[in-house]
Amino acid sequence: MCYEYTSLEKIVADELDKRKVEYICQYPTPSGFVLDFAVEPNICIEADGPCHDSSKAKHRDWFRTKCLKLEGWKVYRLGYDLINDPERLSARLSEILLR
């Protein structure tokens, strides 16, 4: 384990581990943001909990995503409803990792 995961990050990490996907958790970027999961070559997976639901948080996430895309990251935000549904999470990660 990289560090003390949140409960949502733990679910995503377990699914990535099950698929034998290599990743770095809490990956710092040049712009100063820290990615939940960085997957080679340029995939960013963010596990978004309920704290991301407010309009202020949504604006902050939009800005963060825009900055990360300018750095060349493909940003995928996974909401807590999706993460807590094993079938949907598995299907979404399959889509992300096949790109």
Q: What is the pLDDT of residues 53-75, one digit of tens each?
A: 678 877 888 999 999 999 999 99
Mean of the pLDDT values across residues 31-49? 94
Beta-carbon contacts of 43 under 8 Å, excluding residues fewer than 6 positions away, are: 73, 74, 76, 96, 97, 99
Q: Which domains are present in the chain?
A: 7-97 (3.40.960.10)
Does the pLDDT value for residue 87 go beyond 60? yes
Taking CA 53 as the corner, what is the angle to CA 14 and CA 50, rounded to the nearest 5 degrees? 40
